[in-house]
Structure 1
Amino acid sequence: MAFVTESRETILIGITGGIGSGKSTVGRFWSSHYNLPLFDLDAMCRLLLEPGEPGWAALRDLLDGAFFTASGELDRPRLRSAIFLDEALRSRVNELIHPLALQLMQRAVAGLSAPLVLADVPLLYEAGWQDGFQRIVVIFANRKTCCRRIVFRDGVSGEEALRALRSQMSLAEKALRADHVVDNSGCWLRTRLQAVHLAGLYQRFISGSLY
């Protein structure tokens, strides 16, 4: 599986991490600071789950109407909580949504001619998409930091935050598999310095003076 062919001069960078690690923050920084195209898989999945869309229809059939409101909309917060508790349900949902999201990503990337393209893919390794990227960057943060961010951002308890973290592959394992790691456990200035340094490496990569 690949998003771009070897004949194309496009370098596709997969940005991944865990809940609360800050991968989207780093991705948006790179996109805005260096004017790079950025695909947000979470945003694509949200589109797929709008009423009438393929993901919505697939989940409605799978769940037999459960987790849907009276108006037909998917109750995402309730489904998300259930997924963190039920590994079998999580697997069934991912098996339906991941192929649809992959199709969206492939079509979107195929229409670009940019030399460097970013993709924010939270479950990149869990979905088995690692071979579709020329380089993979893991945004790492220690568990305590991730947990604190989840509690603050989502308004959930510490126990719920830990449950969400345990539902994904550990960041330590993802970091071992990555081409590069950005440690976002501390302040933004420290993270930004790492991100700028890494962007410089990729610019040299594109110019042919690296790798």
Structure 2
Amino acid sequence: MKFIGITGGVGAGKTEILKYLAGREDTKVMLADDIARELSEPGQSCNEKLQELFDGTDVFDEKGKMNRPKAAAIIFKDEARRNGMNEILHPAVKEYVLHVLEQEKEEGRLRYLVLEAALLIEEHYDEICDELWYIYTSEENRRARLKQSRGYSDEKISEMFESQLCENEYRRHCKVVIDNNGTTEETIAQVRTIIENEGENTNG
């Protein structure tokens, strides 16, 4: 089984690629955001610490359920809380991922285990992944997609771009680069080719 980490800038269009991979019988896809959300739920490992972090705000309701948009608005302006949230969630997400990795290795059913994470490189997932894939889309196309799909302003998009790694950094760390500037079909064809070639190399 190969453990693949997938990353790319905001608006790169990773969703369709992940959807294709998740549809394969030999592949399991994990999303770091979904794991973090699950670990933040009432009764889960990070919930109590996060409630302490956001004490004095209305981020959590009386049942301990987090209002994510409110949390996002606060951490956007409050660096201390943003760092605190990262310190709580990132190690917990990594621990969860490592647990699933060990479990899937033992069961031996999968050909690929895939993890998508915005901070894949920053959080040193290259140390546990077999290889990293970078989904490349030009800034111009990403900007157009974010305006259309999420209604973001140019100012908000620029702020988001500035907070992420530059293209050279992604390319430096990632073994595979998938060009997602064309149609979804063209992108999926690239992914299929990579997987087929790897299958031939493994069999050879």
**Fold match (TM-score > 0.5):** yes
- Give the match for residue 50 of structure 2: 59
1:98: how far off?
A: 0.6
C-alpha distance in 2, partners of 1:77/1:132?
Answer: 31
- What fraction of aligned residue pairs are identical, expressed as a percent? 25
Most deviating of 133-142 and 63-72: 63-72
Task: Please name the residue that 1:25 is paired with.
Answer: 16
The question of 1:40 aligning with 2:36 is answered no
Count of equivalent residues: 199
Q: What do the CA deviations read for 1:101-131 (whole angstroms, capped 9, x no partner)?
A: 0111111121112232211222111112211
Change (3 A) 1:146 1:131: same
Unaligned runs of 5+ in 1: 1-9
Q: What is the rounded CA distance, in whole Å, between the counterparts of 1:164 and 1:78 in structure 2? A: 18
**Which residue, 80, 99, 104 being the options, matches 1:107?**
99
Contact 2:28 2:113 in 1 (8 A): yes
* 1:176 match: 172
Question: Deviations along 1:117-158, whole A, 9 cap, x unmatched?
Answer: 211222111112211011111111112222222233333323
What SS does structure 2 have at the residue aligned with 1:137?
strand
Partner residue, 1:77: 69
Q: 2:6 aligns with which of 15, 18, 21?
A: 15
TM-score between the two structures when normalised by the length of structure 2: 0.85
**Which residue type is aligned with residue 175 of structure 1?**
R
Q: CA RMSD in A?
A: 2.2
Q: 1:122 to 1:54 in 2, by over 3 A?
A: same
Alpha-carbon deviation of 1:63?
A: 2.6
The one-letter amino acid paired with 1:194 is Q
Give the secondary structure class of the aligned counterpart of 2:165: coil
- The one-letter amino acid paired with 1:141 is T
5+ long unaligned stretches in structure 2: none
8 A Cα contact 1:151 1:157, kept in partner: yes
Q: Which amino acid aligns with 2:43?
A: G
What's 1:165 paired with?
161
CA deviations over 1:22-69 (Å, ceiling 9, x no partner): 223212212314541111211111101223322222222123243514
Q: Distance in 2 between matches of 1:41 and 1:202?
A: 25
Give the conservation status (yes or no) of the 8 Å contact 1:84–1:167: no
Given residue 159 of structure 2, which amino acid in structure 1 is its aligned partner? R
